[in-house]
Amino acid sequence: MESGIFNFKDLFEIISYFVTTISLLGLWATYIFSKKQIHFTTMEKCVSNFREISKWKGMPCDISAEYIEFVSEEFFYLENDYLHLKVSIEWIDGMIDYLPFYDKNKVFIESNRLDTLKDQNNTVRLLRDYPRIRKAIQMRQEIDFKIVHISIENENDREKRRQERDKIIYSVIKNLNISWWKKINLKRKIANR
């Protein structure tokens, strides 16, 4: 077996391999950078939207419809990989106080903060056009919703509360239309937050 550069064809071939490799590395770096930029831009938009909705708290109007629209948008971003999974986990932890749920036995669990979503009939009416949210709030495992909303008196309460909330986060994300790869990594990412 012979090796080495014997003519211009061999030299050109080596140069073309080198240029191709550099080009592929450049494309890969561009892809990673643009994905991070999409995640950042989406996060920035969602934070801005939430701040806008939060400003209405002191007003006599009900913000439930706007909040539901906002949650639907965030779930869409999560499903389509515009949000990093770690960010979504943290945001869903915050949503637990605002969203209503259905427990494993299909019993309605009212929202802890939004009055309109404390009534099952109003919730059904509001969620009529949001199948993604309706699916996400269906719990698959036994969850103690009393512990989910307890005030934290000590470290033991904090840990019990976190464990129950982690179950909800896991169920909500698992109910969304996400890739099997995200589902595999989900428990580990929730545990490491």
Task: Report pLDDT digits (tens) over 148-186.
Answer: 988 888 888 999 999 999 999 999 999 999 988 888 888
Pairwise CA distance, residues 107 & 110, whole Å = 10
DSSP H helical ranges for the chain: 8-55, 64-79, 85-95, 120-127, 131-136, 145-148, 155-175, 180-191
Task: Report pLDDT digits (tens) over 126-139.
Answer: 999 999 999 999 99
Closest CA to 98 of 68, 119, 122: 68
Closest CA to 90 of 165, 38, 142: 165
Backbone φ and ψ of 109, nearest 5°? -115, 115
What is the model's pTM?
0.76
Give how far Cα 140 sits from Cα of 16, 70, 102, 110, 171, Å.
55, 24, 9, 17, 6
Centroid of chain to Cα 16: 42
